Amino acid sequence: MNKDHQNNFWKYVLLIAGGILIFIPLLYTVLSSFKTTKQIMDNFFAFPKPWTIANYQRLFADGVTHYFWNSTIITVLSVVLVMLVVPMAAYSIARNMSRKRAYNIMYSLLILGIFVPFQVIMIPITVMMSKLGLANMWGLILLYLTYAVPQTLFLYVGYIKLSVPESLDEAAEIDGASKWTTYFKIVFPLLKPMHATTLIINAMWFWNDFMLPLLILNGDSKMWTLPLFQYNYTGQYFNDFGPSFASYVIGIITITIVYLIFQKNIIAGMSNGAVK
């Protein structure tokens, strides 16, 4: 076996091992959602016998739909805001950072947020949002926009500098297009791979996030997101594992569908956006 074949062999071994490590827990989460708690306790690795949908019926009876829609509204609005604000800022910075020092300073300050541990600022943020009367869903959306800026801006600026030449702007200007027209008609559509990448990265984070909703929304159960509901539901039914597994499946399935739709553009967006 030559060196190339050996490298390919180990590559496939690692891919298969990684796939198994991801697939098996996911499989048994789904299977456990169709089992009674007694079946789970007796033999966690056995298939349901018989299959039951009682866990899902209990979840819907306990109002999981309300928390599902809370998560959906927060995720969708947060993603829309990020994709409206950040690409526009990235375009301005990418086009001017080589000409004006202020843009370089602004860019450096904004991406510094990547290196600030959340644990350092979570208490001040909680107190501030409470004092401002923003300890609600709208405040959470604003926080998601704020915390998404550093990483998302970094990716967009790199992608624009690498993949969207300034000659397009110059050609549009010669044709009489304004800056707004150039951005929305020419530049924004060319950012499609990066749009898909940032949509997936941020949507998965917003949908699955637990800490920020715990800090901002835990005081009012009507505003809970799905992960926060799962946390409190697991506590309420700690010895009844069936409904808990069913709630995990509901949380997984939506974001998985979104990921499968946009997965083709993720690798191209990440590889181009991370290179300057």
The dihedral over CA atoms of 62, 204, 200, 156, expressed in degrees to the nearest 10, equals: 140
Q: pTM here?
A: 0.85
Structural domain containing residue 200 = 63-273
Q: Which segments of the chain have a pLDDT < 70?
A: 1-7, 234-239, 262-276
Could you tell me the CATH number of the domain that includes residue 158? 1.10.3720.10
Whether residue 21 is contained in a domain is answered as no
**Residue 178 pLDDT:** 87
Q: What HEC string does 60-121 produce? A: HHCCHHHHHHHHHHHHHHHHHHHHHHHHHHHHHHHHHCCCCHHHHHHHHHHHHHHHCCHHHH
**Residue 236 pLDDT:** 61
Q: CA of 87: how far to CAs of 106, 144, 263, in Å?
A: 15, 16, 20
Dig out the tokens for 33 from the structure.
């959602």
**Residue 179 pLDDT:** 87
Whether residue 144 is contained in a domain is answered as yes
Q: Which amino acid is at 222?
A: K
Which residues contact residue 196 at a Cβ distance below 8 angstroms, ignoring those fewer than 6 apart? 262, 264, 265, 266, 269
**Residue 150 pLDDT:** 93
DSSP string, 16-46: HHHHHHHHHHHHHHHHHTTS-HHHHHH-TTS
Whether residue 78 is contained in a domain is answered as yes
Q: How many domains does the chain have?
A: 1
Return the closest-CA partner of residue 139 out of 37, 215, 50: 215
Distance CA 146, CA 272 (A): 23
Whether residue 172 is contained in a domain is answered as yes
**Residue 276 pLDDT:** 43
